[in-house]
Amino acid sequence: MPSLLQTTIAGSLPKPAWLASPGQLWAPWLLEGERLAEGKRDAVRLALYDQERAGIDIVTDGEQTRRHFVTTLIESLDGSGLCSTYQCLPDPAAPAGGSAWALQGGGFEATACYSPRTAIRTIDSFVVLPKWVPKPSGGVTVSLVTRWNALEQVLYVHEATHAAIAIQDFTALNNQARLLPSCLAWVRFWSQPSLFAQEEADQNAFHARLRADCRPAIGCFVDGWLGW
């Protein structure tokens, strides 16, 4: 008699200790080359066997071939050219010496105030968007690569616009702070809870413009565009 509800698993299963160190986030592979490829295949077989033995209806590979649910993609990203324009935040899983991942966000750098006229409060802006290309052994079709790169371009425009708005607003705030009479007034200025209300309003206004006129050319991802 068929079951009323089919069972499956969500997420990854633990990897064998001979493939990757257990209990470690983004654990590096313990094998290399063809041994790694063979080890991944063996790990998938074990994961399938465990699920079948447990009576799971819909089995998965348990993510035995990936270090992390996004790392496999990240390792295929090429960030050349981006980090010369935007400050990149290297991902822990990026290849040695490479900046394969960046995030839009903000973190104020500590600034000593000797005079409001010369003190500048800076904010780091990160943008995501290296070009994605398939791994040589990935077997990904050209049409998928083309669609993915087009999607990345839309995301790039979207996030770069957010960064540009932030830079514009923080430049205006710095111009105001330079006119203050003392460093104490400068510190109090940057400590105001409502200081960033304009920046937040400008970011929300950008999203409102996209909702009113959603086009990939201005950083708006249209549902169903290019088959996504």
- Reported as a single tens digit per residue, the pLDDT across 36-57 is 889 988 998 898 889 889 988 8
The answer to whether residues 26 and 7 belong to one domain is yes
The answer to whether residues 41 and 84 belong to one domain is no
Position with higher pLDDT, 27 vs 16: 16
What mean pLDDT is reported for the chain? 76
Position with higher pLDDT, 205 vs 195: 205
3-state DSSP assignment of residue 8: strand
The answer to whether residues 151 and 88 belong to one domain is yes
Distance CA 124, CA 204 (A): 20
The answer to whether residues 118 and 150 belong to one domain is yes
> Is 80 exceeded by the pLDDT of residue 152?
no
What lies within 8 Å, CB to CB, of 30 at 6+ separation is: 18, 19, 20, 21
The answer to whether residues 159 and 123 belong to one domain is yes
What lies within 8 Å, CB to CB, of 132 at 6+ separation is: 73, 76, 77, 78, 145, 148, 149, 152
Q: Tell me how many domains the chain contains.
A: 2
Give the end of a domain, one of 23, 50, 69.
69
Average pLDDT over residues 165-182: 88
> Is 50 exceeded by the pLDDT of residue 20?
yes
The answer to whether residues 37 and 86 belong to one domain is no
Q: Which domain holds residue 44?
A: 1-69
Average pLDDT over residues 18-30: 85
Give the end of a domain, one of 9, 37, 69.
69
Which of the residue ranges 98-107, 127-136, 153-162 has the most confident prediction, judged by mean pLDDT?
A: 153-162
- pLDDT tens-digit map of 67-99: 765 555 545 555 545 455 545 544 444 445 544
pLDDT, position 102: 46
Q: What is the pTM of this model?
A: 0.53
Say if residue 109 is exposed, middle or buried (CB neighbours under 10 Å; 0-12, 13-18, 19+). exposed
The answer to whether residues 127 and 61 belong to one domain is no
